Structure 1
Amino acid sequence: MIAPRRFLPSIPSLLALEAVDRLGSASAAAEDLSLTQSAVSRQLKQLEEQMGVDLIARDQMRMQLTPAGAGFAQEARGILTRLAQASVKLRANPDGGSLNLSILPSFGLHWLAPRLKDFVAGHPGITVNLQTHNLPFSFEGSTTQAAIHYGTRDWPGVEYLPLMPKHVLPVCAPGLMHAPAATPEELLNFPLLHLETHPDSWEQWFALHEVPAEKLRGMLFDQSSAMTQAAVHGLGVALLPTFIAEAEIAQGRLQLAVPGAPVTLGSYFLVWPQDRATDYPLLKFRDWLIGQIGPQEVS
């Protein structure tokens, strides 16, 4: 529900306040907004009268905002920025809107990107804008409508659509070993590669194979793509998602470090804030994702 009209300042008055806060003077704000200095002063005066709060410290030789005015200007800057971004999106795609999706680099590159052409073809009025993240972030104040998450349901304040388990395989360059290890325990004799965002993955993998292993050390990487390249160049054994590992094995760049089936470490989810749940582009994208992963994966 939108607040009563008396609490909604005009766009010109907010622009004037933001410009004075950013530039430090009415003259600079006037030049920035292509207005006269008196016009900027009138906008600020009208805003003060509407809010019933002093926004300008008038006992100063140079125009300065009061603490209340500076705080309000910061809020206004965020609102004006989001409004401008929404206007750009509307002009760029007037038919169906856009979806701002934050993705995990490896999942986005190797699983989502090859399939995304199908969504674009089926929904020509929706533009998908992608950005990457490695860790959960706050949706508050962000233009991001949804994100791909890996792990457990530990992203606060969001709704979840389970996508699929993360199946991993231990892989290495063919030259690192004369032959694959006979047992999981033998991998402890080789350098192990780790992801900064999930540094306990190897401990989980060994625990699933009933092999004691604690506080394992090794090279750290911030993305799976970098860790994959390190494994290809023989720097150690990496735990990679099957959608990466199997492609690298097929090309002969990597091999299984030990025989065995993939194991499951966590799951992938689509997450979104509750106030975005009914966004048309997000609804269509969720429906499409469910079709891509199949009903057997959704729970």
Structure 2
Amino acid sequence: MKHYPSIQALRVLTSFARTGSVEETADELFLTRSAVTYQLRLLERSLSFSLLHRAGTRIGLSPEGLAYAHDVRLALNTISGSAQRYANRSVSGTLVICSTPGFAGGWLCSRIAKFNGAFPDVKIVLQTQTLLENVANEDIDVFITFGNGHWPEMSVSYLVGIRISPVCSPVFLHQHGMFKDPKDLSNVPLLNILGDETDWEIWLTAAGVDPFLARSGITFHDGNLCYNAAVYSQGVALGDDFTCRAALASGMLVMPFDLSLRGRRSYYLVSSPAKAEMPTVAAFSSWIKTEIMANHTEDDGEA
């Protein structure tokens, strides 16, 4: 009789492969850190190859482990998709989603039809707001917001973390003779998102540049406007590897410096406990987590 690994161990593996962090895997799956490492070691003992590599007190996945995690993720997605094809037929109603502009424009809008195809009886209303941590509107079913994950008395699910680095258009880079040093940023407009100036200050400090420079330039009311200005060669924005991924992959934006930093905030799915139990919200929550897991791998390494 074949031996099959436990689903819990496989869920831990796919989460750890995506986040690269025992701590974030534990938070995401509501486990202790020791439970995460136990499940990984238990899984490794059931395999005929080394799943993990160790460097001091830190653990990571071996090349074979990464490949195995990829196969497991595809298999779990297939199982989930099969179940959803039958369950989705009973999910109907209106779902009002409120997202940050950057997340909506940079990621969700290019995929929302997939959710509509999976749940054709759900009417989707997508709104945006720039007050990123405001989750008080009772007319909203579920929020996609950006913060530290602390919203008391709300149902909160981690979606994805980010890494931040300056971005600009290739045309802008060519016009300014390529940047040889981060100090060259003092000669060009910096593009800010209202309320996110601290992120520029953190990056400039890490790059050895006076953080006061973050107070200069042009400030935009939301992320979409800021990134559009960068695409149209109006200056240098501080982008992230999630919402800017498509623009970076297509060459519309480039990263002129190698230095990237782990963002101090992450994206979360937030709703009231009552609305979190709604079939439409539960369906969207499951779908968006699966979609992110299938299309984005987080790097938890230092800059």
Identify the TM-score tier after normalising by the shorter chain: 0.5 to 0.7
- Give the structure-2-normalised TM-score: 0.59
Query: Could you report, residue by residue, the CA deviation over 1:112-134 in whole angstroms, capped at 9, with x for unpaired residues?
Result: 12222222222222222111111
Matched with 1:110 is 106
Return the offset for 1:253: 4.0
Q: Report which stretch shifted further, 159-168 or 149-158.
A: 149-158
Give the AA of the match of 1:137: N
Secondary structure in 2 aligned to 1:98?
strand
Give the AA of the match of 1:256: M
Matched with 1:139 is 136
Return the offset for 1:282: 0.7
1:161 aligns with 2:157: yes
Return the offset for 1:265: 4.4
Aligned in 2, Cα 1:284/1:173: closer, same or farther, shift over 3 Å?
Answer: closer
Aligned in 2, Cα 1:244/1:145: closer, same or farther, shift over 3 Å?
Answer: closer
Query: Could you report, residue by residue, the CA deviation over 1:199-236 in whole angstroms, capped at 9, with x for unpaired residues?
Result: 22211222343544136222110122221232233332
Contact 1:167 1:262 in 2 (8 A): yes
Give the AA of the match of 2:273: Q
Aligned in 2, Cα 1:117/1:172: closer, same or farther, shift over 3 Å?
Answer: same
Matched with 1:148 is 144
Contact 1:167 1:241 in 2 (8 A): yes
Structure 2: distance between partners of 1:172 and 1:231: 5
| Unmatched tracts of structure 1, length 5 or more | 1-93
Contact 1:170 1:239 in 2 (8 A): yes
Contact 2:149 2:158 in 1 (8 A): no
- Give the structure-1-normalised TM-score: 0.59
Of the two, which has the highest radius of gyration? 1
Query: Could you report, residue by residue, the CA deviation over 1:231-265 in whole angstroms, capped at 9, with x for unpaired residues?
Result: 23333211123345443345554333324456534
Matched with 1:182 is 180
Contact 2:162 2:242 in 1 (8 A): no
Match of 2:203 among 181, 205, 224: 205
Matched with 1:67 is none
Aligned in 2, Cα 1:265/1:210: closer, same or farther, shift over 3 Å?
Answer: farther
Structure number with greater CO (CA < 8 Å, separation at least 6) is 2
Aligned in 2, Cα 1:117/1:204: closer, same or farther, shift over 3 Å?
Answer: same
Aligned in 2, Cα 1:270/1:246: closer, same or farther, shift over 3 Å?
Answer: closer
Match of 2:118 among 115, 122, 126: 122
1:233 aligns with 2:232: yes
**Please, what is the CA RMSD of the aligned residues?**
2.8
Matched with 2:72 is none
Structure 1: distance between partners of 2:91 and 2:291: 24
Secondary structure in 1 aligned to 2:111?
helix
Matched with 2:222 is 223
Give the AA of the match of 1:255: V
Matched with 2:292 is 293
User: Identity of counterpart residues, as a percentage?
Assistant: 28
| Unmatched tracts of structure 2, length 5 or more | 1-89, 299-303
Contact 1:224 1:240 in 2 (8 A): no
Aligned in 2, Cα 1:249/1:279: closer, same or farther, shift over 3 Å?
Answer: closer
| Length, aligned pairs only | 204
Secondary structure in 2 aligned to 1:200?
helix
Structure 1: distance between partners of 2:232 and 2:111: 29
